[in-house]
Structure 1
Amino acid sequence: MNLPVGDIIKQGIKLKEFDSRIIESFYDKEFSGYLVASIEGYAGIEEGALLFKKGLLIGAFYEYLNYGITVHGNQAVQQVFNSLAAEYGVIDVISLTNQQADLITAFNDKIKLTVNVGKKDVRKLSRSFYSNEFAEKVLSKVLEKHESRKNVFKKLGLTDLGG
């Protein structure tokens, strides 16, 4: 998902150096902007973002780039926090105006959260290790479809065409 370019607050923070207190500080500072994590995960390159407006978490999305699948809103929050515990990846923090944050949710309604995720929830959502469980659940249908297609080609003796 394309996000507007704002002011870069922090760029290229290695996941091993990341501390969830950075996110907690967004609430205290009434931060407007987003945190984006780009990681090497279960399904290859994965990217997730948390969108804040005036210190409130208002939106989230998580992309499995190798499969062209995006998870939005409430379902994406846990996946973004999970990604922050991955072994390899970087985080960028970008500030936006309140109007820019509003425009993101106006044009991408699916990313809006319908549950309140407060400062106290950040520690609960933070993980000490990356879990493949989220990717496996989201991608199971896609992988199942791919495997069944492969089996059809195999039955027809066309294994070189099945991908």
Structure 2
Amino acid sequence: MEKFTIILGDITKIKTDAIVNAANTTLLGGGGVDGAIHRAAGPQLLAECRTLHGCPTGQAKITKGYRLPANYVIHTPGPIWRGGSCNERNLLRNCYANSLALAETYGCRTVAFPSISTGIYHFPLDLAAPVACRTILDFLQKSAIVTKVQMVCFDEQTKQAYDQAFMNC
């Protein structure tokens, strides 16, 4: 079994211990992946998120998965792209690293990620994919608990960017 795979698909349909939500800092739902996860999980997810009082960019918080096929949802607000001079790469790296660390703390063996910040936050895909791949691969080398990570790409362009980044890691 490969430890890291890149697939085309809908993250809300992935059966795994935890899926990661590319959330906003309020954790109260939004568009894109965030909205899809909230819709699929049902109203209990929003109710639990209200008790978390938001989350800073680059950090992560965890909730139950409710109606999702995942046991948990790890919410991480990605950075908004502001041209690259506002610590965006480091913040993005922290999203992946902190999500994986939280998954490990909760005993999650399998985790699925979307492409964080490359949608409405406009982080360039060709810059985001290498950060994500390197961070995930580095974590998997050290973790005895998290054994499989999937990058779930919403479209073919995103999958191609992650495939390319993975080949160059």
Q: What range is the shorter-chain TM-score in?
A: under 0.3
Richer in strand (by share): 1
Q: Which has the larger radius of gyration?
A: 1
Q: Which has the higher contact order (CA 8 A, sep 6+)?
A: 2
